[in-house]
Amino acid sequence: MQIQVLGNEKLHLPADVIDLLLDLLSTDDRFRELFTRNRHAALVEAGCELSEEQLRAASPLRCLTVERLADKETIAAAREELRAHLLADAAYSNPHALESGAMHAVLRQN
């Protein structure tokens, strides 16, 4: 499935990328560190069809910026809610849901 660019340079990630992203964020310490350091590279590793450079040119992905990533167990427990949130167009306009301590507040807004 292709990545779509929505208005205002916002990407709409396909379901398969979101699924792998959430799987890796809830299980893989190395991937979690990569995601925190370089979300564009992490999305390429999670299956984005665009290169890291293309992703950077298309969107800053501010919606996926985290200072302190929620722990693996919290992401795993909220996986279906996170998936639904990230598949919704509004996810790319709202604050990200992967920040430690912010996940439940963001998901309740939907």
Per-domain boundaries in the chain: 4-108
Q: Give yes or no for a contact between 7 and 54, defined as CB atoms under 8 angstroms apart.
A: no
Q: Give yes or no for a contact between 92 and 10, defined as CB atoms under 8 angstroms apart.
A: yes
Angle (CA) 71 15 57, round 5°: 85
**Three-state SS for 27?**
coil
By C-alpha distance, which of 110, 7, 109, 18 is closest to 58? 7
Please state the rounded mean pLDDT for residues 24-39: 95
User: Does residue 48 carry a pLDDT above 70?
Assistant: yes
Per-residue confidence (pLDDT) for residue 57, from 0 to 100: 79
* 55-103 tens-digit pLDDT: 877 776 666 777 889 999 999 999 999 898 888 865 554 445 666 676 5
- In angstroms and rounded to an integer, the radius of gyration of the C-alpha atoms of the chain is 13
pTM over 0.85: no
